[in-house]
Amino acid sequence: MTPSGSAGGRAEGASRRRQAVALFVGALAAALVVSPPAALGDEAGQGEDERDRQEGESRTGRVGGPDDCVRGTADSSYEEKLRAWRTPRDLRPHRWVRGFREVTFRNIHTNRSAKLRLFGDDGELTAEAKAEIRRIWSDSVAGDGREIKDRLIKILYFVAVKFNAEEIVIISGFRDDRNESVTSPHWQGRAADIIVPGTSSRRVWEYVQTYGKVGVGRYPVSGFVHVDVRNASFFWEDVSGPGQPSCYYQVDRDLARRYDEEYDPHHDDPRRLRAYHDWQEQRAKQRRRAD
């Protein structure tokens, strides 16, 4: 082979290599557009729904089932307080005003409470109600709290109407303790541990599950129900006692997925209860006429 032929071969080979590289880069770019790798996705390819499920599954204290836990205990002092929280207080009846029922929230840590008219005619929380909720929700008198998620308040409103509750007792709302994780739903203003006086924790626990896209935990020894709003439901029971290490297990995984699939944002609109109230009023009028 002559020197000139050798140089021509090298040039032709370099050209083919450049074409191959160009084809490879083009194919890679197309693949990234059609199907991005996990590293380019949302937190290594995990969507918010999966992260929410893992939020429940990764908390300290999770076990496989009830047989893996030793049921906790509550001392007599706590039991006495629990009886008081569960007993309906003698409050003035809550009225329906412009299609919405009044609701009272009370925080046991600060003893702050207020009877609130939560919604405007558009079914959204008013600025006044939000400010009052923020004041009540903080577990510390000195804490200024933070904005509480609207959907959480709406669900608790539905709970109050469902069980005709005179008040919702907040066992824990916004936690501003220095040891509280910034990933905690309590710190983020999207959770509350509650007691509904006169209603069992199991009934409240089962009812809130039906709303979908919620975290709902029942604490039978401590006597409250944890409620938070999230993108993928997670239901659990925790049999630890007050102040004791958590020991919880997931329940009704398939039911949680079903409620999420059936989730309808219109179900969160408090205006839908106006028809329920009108029906109640009509029945009351009929009973009065009959008497």
Give pLDDT tens digits for 138-167: 877 655 567 899 999 999 999 999 999 989
- Residue 286 pLDDT > 50: yes
Q: Which of 103-107, 268-272, 281-285 has the lowest mean pLDDT?
A: 281-285
Residue 92, CA distances (Å) to 85, 149, 194, 261 in order: 17, 28, 21, 40
Question: Which position has the higher pLDDT, 18 or 72?
Answer: 72
Q: Which of 7-21, 29-43, 215-229, 274-288 has the lowest mean pLDDT?
A: 29-43
Helices and strands counted in the chain (H then E): 8, 10
Identify any residues that bridge with 249 across adjacent strands, giving them in sequence order: 237
End-to-end CA distance of the chain: give it in Å, rounded. 118
Average pLDDT over residues 120-127: 94
CA quadruple 80, 83, 85, 90: dihedral sign: negative
pLDDT band at 121 (very low <50, low <70, confident <90, very high): very high
- Residue 183 pLDDT > 90: no
- Residue 110 pLDDT > 80: yes
Average pLDDT over residues 246-270: 95
User: Who contacts 251 (Cβ-Cβ below 8 Å, separation ≥6)?
Assistant: 235, 236, 237
Q: For residue 263, which of 47, 49, 41, 43 has the smallest C-alpha distance?
A: 49
Task: List Cβ<8 Å contacts ≥24 apart for 208-214.
Answer: 208/155, 208/159, 209/233, 209/235, 209/252, 209/255, 209/256, 209/259, 210/259, 211/155, 211/158, 211/259, 211/263, 211/267, 211/268, 212/259, 212/260, 212/261, 212/262, 212/263, 213/259, 213/260, 213/263, 214/155
pTM, whole model, 2 decimals?
Answer: 0.77
- Residue 25 pLDDT > 70: no
pLDDT at res. 209: 97
